[in-house]
Amino acid sequence: MTMATAKATVDRPAATPRRDRSRMILRKLFRSGVFLTGFGIVLFWVFCAIFGIYLVPYDPLSSDILNALQPPSAVHWFGTDQLGRDVFSRVIVGSREILVVAPAATLLATVVGSALGLCTGYFRGVLDDVVSRIMEAVMAIPGVLLALLAIVSIGTSKVAVIVVIGLSFAPNIARTVRSAVMQERELDYVAAAHLRRENAAYVMFVEILPNVIPPILVEATVRLGYAIFAVATLSFIGFGIQPPSPDWGLSISTNYGMINGGFWWTVLFDALAIASVVIGVNLVADGVQGAFSER
């Protein structure tokens, strides 16, 4: 065995220690009260998104004008809106829209941003300069405004909202990943991979990527909270999910004028639902960040 091969063998990260670190992080997560609280909130709404349609007492899309704007009662727990639709049923079922679109947009942003961050952080040079300037220009525009401009151009649909929000958040994730990759690139295990004459794709995705997973996960959970707000905001101003969906942002937009008439329940419970999901996601993000930082 040559000296270079021996060095590469010693410096190659072992799979077993990596699995041990993963188990340790999971134990820390499920011992964290902050993470468990947030996880419980998110899990509740995920359950509602999947099974809520089978559990609600009324059809969330069914109108009953004779019972419009009824206050909360034993018959309608959260009251009814201006079209007589049961608010409780709409809040529970409305979780499906936002918990499909926002995570899908976050996943797209994470994949695109991680790939850009890996490439710019590893290759650097002209590629890094060009891509970084483009990302800085995108990040200079408020995310919701950028999404609004794009949706006006390509039309409103779930797919459009997912793509636009995902691409608008990708530069933030790319910048975080780029910084982490530039630090990892200088470590011995990367030099060992170069000595073994591994190609760039192998070094980036097999050697470096597993070691930058922590900042990617933290950034993704943080961006998920922003994505939920972005989806709700676009629906509120009429450029996101369209009627007759029980989407929370759309329901707030539809019934916003009812607040002046004292019909607060038509808006309050949807707003509380959005706030609870964002709080839950932020608590999960805090728990994940704490587990990785303690590592």
Comparing 26-30, 182-186, 190-194, the range with the smallest average pLDDT is 26-30
pLDDT grade for 30, boundaries at 50, 70 and 90: confident
Predicted local distance difference test score (pLDDT) of residue 5: 42
Mean pLDDT value across the chain = 84
pLDDT grade for 161, boundaries at 50, 70 and 90: confident
Residue 159 identity (one-letter amino acid): V
The 10 Å CB-count burial string (b at 16+, else e) for 215-253 is bbbbbbbbbbbbbbbbbbbbbbeebbbeeebbbbbbbbb
166-177 pLDDT, tens per residue?
988 999 999 999
Comparing 68-82, 125-139, 263-277, the range with the smallest average pLDDT is 125-139
Residue 84 tokens read as 């007589």
Rounded Cα gap, residues 107 and 109, in angstroms: 5
pTM: 0.83
Predicted local distance difference test score (pLDDT) of residue 17: 61
Residue 215 identity (one-letter amino acid): P
Domains of the chain: 3-8+42-61+76-294 (1.10.3720.10)
Between 30 and 80, the more confident residue is 80
Predicted local distance difference test score (pLDDT) of residue 275: 93
pLDDT grade for 278, boundaries at 50, 70 and 90: very high
